[in-house]
């Protein structure tokens, strides 16, 4: 396995093939663009629940056609299976809290560059995932390895401050919410067809 895996999307809308009759079919129609905003993390862990709790908040707002908001607090393997069973997304925006030692409330937005660790490490991530660890990094690695992600994946992370039991964010993370929502809206605006 090369360090950087080249993914050839099997989901990209291909040029429509006429059926045997030569007449247009439903499959020939352009597929409406689809974008998923997914909140990743555990519930009930305050800042570490940022992804699913933000998804709850976002779901109450109005979004452009083709944009779906989803709570992804059910583990990388389940997410991967669900992605596999749906019509393809053109872009996915994953949102979650990840502890990396930055100042609490820091927001980081980046494009997922599909860099994969070696196979032993991927296997370890799968083992973590199947045994219940819900992690944004694991989701990116596993879903990329098994080729379930579109080419265009944006990640928005927030640095957590408080990981105790509960549903409320810390002050720092609560203050970061507007910026994260703005980053999500920018991610969508940059993607929407003009």
- Among the listed residues 37, 53, 33, 34, the one whose alpha carbon sits nearest the alpha carbon of residue 45: 53
Write down the least CB distance from residue 25 to another protein, Å. Answer: 29
Write down the least CB distance from residue 9 to another protein, Å. Answer: 20
Kindly state whether residue 56 participates in binding another protein, applying the rule CB under 8 A.
no
How far apart CA 143 and CA 147 sit, in angstroms, is 6
- Among the listed residues 9, 39, 85, 41, the one whose alpha carbon sits nearest the alpha carbon of residue 181: 39
For another protein, the closer of residues 21 and 131 by Cβ is 131
- Please tell me whether residue 49 adopts helix, strand or coil conformation: helix
- Write phi, then psi, for 152 (nearest 5 degrees): -100, 100
A 10 A CB-CB count for 111 gives 11
Write down the least CB distance from residue 42 to another protein, Å. Answer: 7
Q: Which of 33, 63, 68, 81 binds another protein (CB under 8 A)?
A: 81
Residue bearing tokens 């045997």: 20
Stretch that binds another protein, among 19-27, 32-40, 72-80, 172-180 (CB under 8 A): 72-80
Return the H-helix or E-strand segment holding 27.
Answer: none
Kindly state whether residue 182 participates in binding another protein, applying the rule CB under 8 A.
no
Write down the least CB distance from residue 102 to another protein, Å. Answer: 11
Stretch that binds another protein, among 14-22, 30-38, 40-48, 58-66 (CB under 8 A): 40-48
Write down the least CB distance from residue 90 to another protein, Å. Answer: 18
Strand order in the sheet with 107-111: 67-72, 35-40, 91-97, 152-158, 107-111
How many binding residues for another protein (CB under 8 A)?
A: 46
- Among the listed residues 72, 100, 71, 97, the one whose alpha carbon sits nearest the alpha carbon of residue 169: 97
- Please tell me whether residue 152 adopts helix, strand or coil conformation: strand
Kindly state whether residue 158 participates in binding another protein, applying the rule CB under 8 A.
no
Q: Which of 149, 155, 158, 188 binds another protein (CB under 8 A)?
A: 155
Residues that bind another protein (CB under 8 A): 42-45, 48, 73-75, 77-78, 81, 98-101, 108-113, 115-117, 119, 122-127, 130-135, 137-138, 140-141, 145, 155, 163-165
């Amino acid at each position: 396995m090369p360090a950087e895996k080249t993914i050839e999307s099997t989901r990209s809308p291909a040029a429509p093939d006429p059926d045997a009759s030569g007449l247009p079919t439903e499959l020939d129609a352009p597929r409406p663009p689809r974008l998923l905003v997914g909140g990743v993390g555990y519930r009930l862990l305050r800042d570490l629940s940022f992804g699913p709790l933000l998804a709850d908040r976002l779901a109450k707002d109005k979004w452009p056609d083709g944009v779906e908001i989803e709570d992804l607090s059910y583990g990388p393997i389940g997410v991967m299976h669900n992605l596999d069973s749906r019509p393809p997304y053109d872009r996915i925006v994953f949102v979650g809290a990840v502890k990396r030692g930055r100042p609490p409330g820091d927001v980081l937005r980046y494009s997922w560059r599909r860099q994969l660790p070696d196979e032993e490490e991927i296997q370890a991530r799968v083992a973590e995932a199947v045994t219940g660890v819900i992690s944004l990094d694991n989701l990116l690695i596993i879903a990329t390895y098994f080729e379930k992600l579109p080419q265009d994946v944006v990640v928005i992370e927030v640095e957590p401050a408080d990981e105790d039991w509960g549903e409320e964010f810390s002050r720092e993370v609560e203050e970061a919410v507007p910026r994260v929502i703005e980053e999500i809206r920018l991610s969508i605006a940059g993607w929407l067809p003009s």
